[in-house]
Amino acid sequence: MVSVIIRNRNEEQYIGFAIQSVLDHFKNPEVIVIDNNSTDSSLEVVSMFRPILKKKLKIINISNYSPGASLNKGVNECSNNTILILSAHAQITKVNLSKAKLDLEKNVAVFGQQIPIYKGKKITPRYIWSHFKSNCVKNLYSEIEDRHFLHNAFCFYKKDTLINNPFDESLQGKEDRYWAIDMVNKGHDYYYDGNSHKVNHFYTTKGATWKGIG
């Protein structure tokens, strides 16, 4: 089984797609939504899934927000050792949970391909999107950013790994990159699998990945 952490702040447009894709691809998932004082109808959308998920849907509020703080809070709420961090504006189209679990035996994280969707249209991958190819790479390094590249919009972890190595709560962005750098410096590996795991990543002005791209 898998626990899925979704960070939310006013993501009413796509969070339903994200949760529905979780239900479409996993058996008996646990969904944990970490909400940062949303003022739109996103939590109403999330609550629509309660009749299906029942007690396996948790909505947790966080006021003192940072990407790392919200994820660490979500990790502590997870009931399963296999965790998927999923963007509120990402829709799973392909995933192989068995392979992800197998790869997590040798790697501290496994993340998948993101396909950028701008106003309903797939766009030519450039800048950050150029990293997401249909291949497999250990300890993916970004020549663009000149550092190790990991992305939390669609990434698997083990709970005990994140309990022992939490995300930096002082950072206001790129918590995944800095975490990856720290893990590699400690002698660990992480894995990119663009063949087995894929999501559509929808354009939103709220998405840090899209800043300056759209």
Q: What pLDDT sits at residue 161?
A: 98
Q: What pLDDT sits at residue 118?
A: 87
Domain 3-210 has CATH 1.10.150.530: no
Q: What pLDDT sits at residue 214?
A: 40
Helix, strand, or coil (residue 209): helix
**H-only helix segments in the chain:** 15-25, 42-47, 50-53, 67-77, 97-103, 159-164, 175-185
Residue 74 CB: number of other CB atoms within 10 A? 23
Q: What pLDDT sits at residue 208?
A: 65
The answer to whether residues 40 and 14 touch, using CB atoms and an 8 Å cutoff, is no
Where the chain has pLDDT below 50, the residues are 214
CA distance 81 to 93: 23
Counted residue by residue, the chain has a size of 214
Residue 180, burial from CB neighbour count under 10 angstroms (0-12, 13-18, 19+)? buried
The answer to whether residues 61 and 33 touch, using CB atoms and an 8 Å cutoff, is no
**H-only helix segments in 82-185:** 97-103, 159-164, 175-185
Global pTM value: 0.95
Residue 8, burial from CB neighbour count under 10 angstroms (0-12, 13-18, 19+)? buried
Domain borders along the chain are 3-210
The answer to whether residues 174 and 116 touch, using CB atoms and an 8 Å cutoff, is no
